[in-house]
Structure 1
Amino acid sequence: MSATVVFMGDGLIAGGRWDEWLPGYEVTNLGISGATSDDVLSHIDLLVEQNSDAVVLGIGTNDLGWRRSDEHVVRNVETILVTIRRRLPETRILIQSVLPREREFAEVIKSVNRHLWQFAPTTHAQYLDLWPALASEDGELNPAYTDDRLHLTNEGYEAWLAELIPGLETLFEIPPSSSAIPVQHA
């Protein structure tokens, strides 16, 4: 039986044909077009019900479109990661960086991604940095991968998959979590 993987996040996740592109896994796509980190938090029970072997999370770009601060996005994603880890201690977690979009968002996206990269290990989540594969030198989503500086073309998804496939392979090589050692009370 192949490993079960649930993708959760925004329209970039929703638009992926993950089940087709990742035939070695049983994939469920819970991406929601237009979703923000607040939306993912409100749907966390749906994710937990899946009780999958792994969760791939991609969220944050729509928050920025609504002018939410980097602190708001980071706080919500941290809460999502902690909730997943607490409620699904044996599930592997892959948090993906917020993808680049229009140049005006580059610095706030870099800030969010830096915080997520630092926080992920505290929840035994793996961090997948997609920025180098998808951003232009000026911090904008590479024009070769988009028609509107936000959504991905097929070429954009191919560049993402080139990073995601090895990321998933690594994810399944590492134990899912390190549960707290129970303390015996005298």
Structure 2
Amino acid sequence: MDKLVRRGNATKIGKIFLSSFLCLIFLSLSGCVRSSGDYLTDEQITEQVSNELMEALVIEDLQAVKALLCPYFQETHSELDKEISGIFDFMDGDIISYDEPDGALSGGATTDWEWVEKSAIPEIVNIKTTGGKKYTISYMYYFINKENPELLGIAYINVVLNNDKDDTPIIQYIIDAEESGD
């Protein structure tokens, strides 16, 4: 009888342990699902930034473009409004269509298993205007920059006028945080 009682207790303890273990697994899995909805990949971030940039360019919203630029742009370019307006002037006519932006692959540098610099250079292609021209826009976006945190965000924008026949670049307009526009 004593063996039966011990065996019954062991079975109860085993069931409690198994139930607790399964609860922990389910809780951790549900936490992963919930947190993954809050976490954006680099590609999703650059896709979102590309869409915001294009929306701002389509309606020629200078402040919206400026808001996407890194703090260094804001602090060092006293003629930043003029530089951004230069993008609008460079593009002949209003933007009527462009290919859906997608996230760009990113790169960077690590030390001791930690990112010290992480960036992407997305491209938005096949931008067509009412002036009959075709453009490509690329920009540098820093996710992490431990050495220069003031460069987080868009650090340069390059707008290229393409040849209609083969999409080769004809001329470009660049605004760059690290080159003074003054």
After TM superposition, the score normalised by the length of structure 2 is: 0.26
Please tell me whether Structure 1 or Structure 2 has the larger radius of gyration of its CA atoms.
2
After TM superposition, the score normalised by the length of structure 1 is: 0.25
**Which protein is richer in helix relative to its size?**
1
**Which protein is richer in strand relative to its size?**
2
